[in-house]
Amino acid sequence: MRELLLVVHILSVIVWLGCGLYELFLTYELKKARGTNLELDLMRFYLKYSAPVPIATLLVAMTGATMAIVLDWGFFQQFWLGTKQVLMVGVLIIFASVIPPFIKLGGIVKSLPADVTALPEEAAVLFDRIEPWLVVMRIMGALAVFFAVFKFG
């Protein structure tokens, strides 16, 4: 049981942070394309292929919590594990706060007729509000990996 949970947990972290790095690249390209016809195509691509990130985020949280309970690691019992757990709670709070605007952004983009070639300003502003929080989540995830690898305390 431990091995299965750990494998799913580690694979989920890899997907979460790996996709997060790709999203950083795509965000950079989106910002470069601001105001051009390419911006809408990049946003459609971004929204179409971003689904693994929230799924992996939730899997990381669920497998981590399950391991803490099933394997008697507990919550906040050791510094390194408690730090990871605090970081994950922060990630989940941010996650819950960005989902509604992210869904709204997807709705705006999806509702655009095929002949529209520019990203509406409302969608660009919404993305600009969401994106810094995604960066914070990635940093928190990377810090959690750091604490998992080095197990301070």
Q: Where are the domains of the chain?
A: 2-150
Distance CA(50)–CA(19), nearest Å, equals 8
Does pLDDT of 153 surpass 80?
Answer: no
Q: By C-alpha distance, which of 135, 143, 23, 30 is closest to 83?
A: 143
Percent of the chain beyond pLDDT 70?
Answer: 99
Does pLDDT of 128 surpass 80?
Answer: yes
pLDDT of 78 reads: 87
**Residue position matching structure tokens 């391991």:** 67
- As a whole number, mean pLDDT of residues 126-141 equals 94
pLDDT of 74 reads: 87
- As a whole number, mean pLDDT of residues 1-16 equals 92
Does pLDDT of 124 surpass 70?
Answer: yes
pLDDT digit string, tens, across residues 47-69: 998 888 999 999 999 999 999 99
pLDDT of 27 reads: 94
Q: Average pLDDT, whole number, for the chain?
A: 93
pLDDT of 1 reads: 86
Residue pair 29/87 in contact (Cβ under 8 Å)? The answer is no
Count of CA atoms in the C-beta half-sphere (13 A) of 103: 7
pLDDT digit string, tens, across residues 67-112: 999 988 888 888 889 999 999 999 999 999 999 999 999 999 999 9
Q: What is the pTM of this model?
A: 0.87
Distance CA(100)–CA(107), nearest Å, equals 11
Distance CA(53)–CA(86), nearest Å, equals 20
Q: How confident is the model at residue 39 (pLDDT cuts 50, 70, 90)?
A: very high
